[in-house]
Chain A
């Protein structure tokens, strides 16, 4: 188990390195020039050269890449003119746009994504699996049709639409919930919760569909197995058959998907939800950084998101071992 974990973590580190390298070189293949963006409307060639130098973009790509990697382990100092900005290890660089160390920004944005992603994930997992199970048990009946219909609705509507609709109804029209924005849980726990109700609901509506359908089909498959018939024939209570024998076997593929979803949600993939509800999370940061050609932030957000997806995958494998006794990790 321990050796397995070490092996997985080493593989994860390699994946991250590959991701960083690809992101880095794709950036330079793009037509945008951060120095030109920073330079402003009427930019003379000499001024442009100076700004390139102060952003460190006048050195070769390989040197820049090496500096970046070095910064990850040893930290770096930025700026030689107006101010020295120290960026301690692990240094992801300093934003071209805000002159703030990227890691500082990521860490300050992270609680929002963690709250949004984790809260929504718990809700859509429980509801999705629940609804899916009910649909499978009541196959072909009204409950099944309702659950499948609901799922179909969720999968068809866009976050953009449902988010604005919820905002209109609960914030603007009936004024039950506060206006958009993220409140820190340490600052005001009740405000934190209230502010997240709508974003959570939006994500649940959208994600619920897949979990319901997945659970339903996976359960139906398991129901057809011989051991299920045996369990029923033994005279076990229906609930035990469905939950202990059925769900436990059916849940493995769901855990895989769930792991990926949680990882990417926490890593900032809920960008449209963030934007509609004015939550300044990592997803929004990533999109903005691409628009501003802010290389350090692009790299930082990519690495950060990748970290969570990779971690989620490792956790999923570990959970497999717990849920399904047939899986042995070595």
Chain B
């Protein structure tokens, strides 16, 4: 991605021609201008998706595809400008990135004037308050838990539908919104980049059916939406470039088609015929096609390898595998080269040695175990010897897919070499997480992956390793290692209280290191997501926050 000139509000306002030119700069590097054709306005972008979004309702969406789509329809309090070399936090509905006070327990945002809905009405602070309040209704389920966790009085609030408001969200005037939190949250303004921190006008709220009726204040609005079939977006004529630092409105409309087979989509976009030329995919390339497509030189200009803020890992249950030496031996024994092979090879991602991936605030480069990704068998054997050469039998939980079963075989083979017998337990993929997250089902080794909700360690390490949460959410436990290390817990509390970004990141780095010292997890790969677009699609920005090809600057060439 080339570093492009940052658009200022006045420049964008003056002439659309300037915008087009800027669009070209912004996109030149990432979209492969070699494919020919001038960027411009108009045309329809086709989006080919395996399945419908989990939700489009901004308070319910929690998948990368849905979040990426919502960026076109819904504006959030803050957002990410990703036209530069690194994502930059900017105000979206808000004029800036918010002001913390009282030790980051109170956050104030001032809204831009003149941001309009699809009917021309202005977006106001009470609409944002109402939107955030929707999070609390049990009808509006599926979304992230942060509002309920952090807003004062959130534990007892049940949403706006019974006429009650949440007092910890205040709107002193039409353009100001203040959030009162029950704990310091130094990166709260990154939370507010998620789709749910947005405006929903009460008059247009259709409750649990809002998915198909999302009221737009972004560049595109819903023209028609038949669940599991097709979503058609059209320009929101009331949207104005002058109020929006993040998005452009180049294509006339978007046509999202759901329900095609993954391989058929890959094949279609690769062949680049007819509408496939102006199509893009949101779901990653199928595992079986990945190695071939990643290495096809003819696809290079329209192949996007997006480093996700995520980690693929193997959790070691510390309450079952109690001996630290044995856990350390596992760290050394796992052969990450065969493991990565099972997931699709080098295109899938780089070998990991930390739980935080590069690009996440708090990431610190270190490797406590084998420098060689294939492992260090001698060291592993020695550790087993120190542990008294036990011959344990361990269970490993994986999804019942070919990829994961190959992965489990790789682990089994590696651990057999140090005298550990591994029993593979494949679990129905659709119910995998609801099964392993239930504390009733415990395994010695558990496969997991995690994508940060925003690029900060605060959405990775506390969620995955705060042992105090295990009892609190027995059916939705994310601590697959069952690690409850007082040292880690203390660092979690310390980080939450630290307002200074540098200091806080240092604490997270230390936390990551402590978790690896405990040998609670084997980090396997920092994940990439790979997608393709047709030859006439330009302006694709690899969105490393959401881990999707971003649509905010997209255009089709004529």
Contacts and interface: CB of A to CB of B under 8 A. Distances in A.
Interface stretch (A126-134, A147-155, A201-209, A278-286): A278-286
Given A81-B161, A180-B260, A275-B261, A44 B473 contact: yes
Interface stretch (B88-96, B200-208, B316-324, B355-363): B200-208
A306 B482 CA distance: 46
Contact of B141 (A40, A46, A171, A293): A40
What 8 pairs between A and B have smallest CB-CB spacing?
A: A82-B207, A172-B271, A83-B207, A278-B260, A50-B138, A43-B476, A291-B430, A82-B139
Nearest to B155: A46
Interface string B204-236: 011111010000000000000011110000000
Interface of A: 31-33, 36-48, 50-51, 53-54, 79, 81-83, 85, 98-100, 105, 108, 163-164, 167-168, 171-173, 175, 178-181, 274-280, 284-285, 288, 290-293
Given A179-B268, A290-B430, 9 more contacts: A33-B434, A36-B475, A44-B476, A45-B475, A47-B138, A163-B264, A179-B273, A276-B261, A291-B430
Contact of B267 (A79, A100, A168): A168
B331 to A, nearest CB: 27
Nearest to B156: A46
B32 interface: no
Contact of B138 (A32, A45, A54, A163): A54
A156 B273 CA distance: 30
Interface stretch (B143-151, B172-180, B387-395, B485-493): B143-151
Contacts of A79: 139, 207-208
Contacts of A83: 139, 206-209
Contacts of B159: 81-82
Contacts of B139: 54, 79, 81-83
B274 interface: yes
B228 A98 contact: yes
Contacts of B51: 288
B398 interface: no
Contacts of A37: 434
A162 to B, nearest CB: 13
Given A82-B137, A99-B211, A42 B476 contact: yes
A51 B258 CA distance: 27
B12 interface: no
B268 A172 contact: yes
B372 interface: no
B478 A42 contact: yes
Contacts of A54: 138-139, 141
A36 B440 CA distance: 14
Nearest to A99: B208
Interface of B: 51, 62, 137-145, 148, 155, 158-159, 161-162, 205-209, 211, 226-229, 257-261, 263-264, 267-268, 270-271, 273-276, 428, 430-431, 433-435, 463, 472-476, 478
20 contacts: A32-B434, A36-B476, A38-B141, A41-B145, A41-B478, A42-B144, A42-B478, A44-B145, A47-B141, A81-B162, A83-B139, A83-B208, A105-B228, A172-B268, A179-B268, A179-B274, A180-B260, A180-B268, A277-B260, A280-B258
B54 to A, nearest CB: 9
Contact of A99 (B138, B148, B209, B435): B209
B205 A82 contact: yes
A171 B268 contact: yes
A293 B433 CA distance: 13
A100 B267 CA distance: 33
A124 to B, nearest CB: 22
B157 to A, nearest CB: 11
B228 A81 contact: no
A175 B478 contact: no
Contact of B227 (A33, A100, A179): A100
Contacts of A85: 208-209
A172 B267 CA distance: 8
A168 B271 contact: yes
Contact of B473 (A32, A45, A168, A274): A45
B478 A82 contact: no
B226 A108 contact: yes
A275 B259 contact: yes
Contacts of B268: 167, 171-172, 179-180
A39 B476 contact: yes
Given A31-B431, A83-B206, A171-B273, A43 B137 contact: no
Contacts of A293: 430-431
A91 B428 CA distance: 30
B537 to A, nearest CB: 15
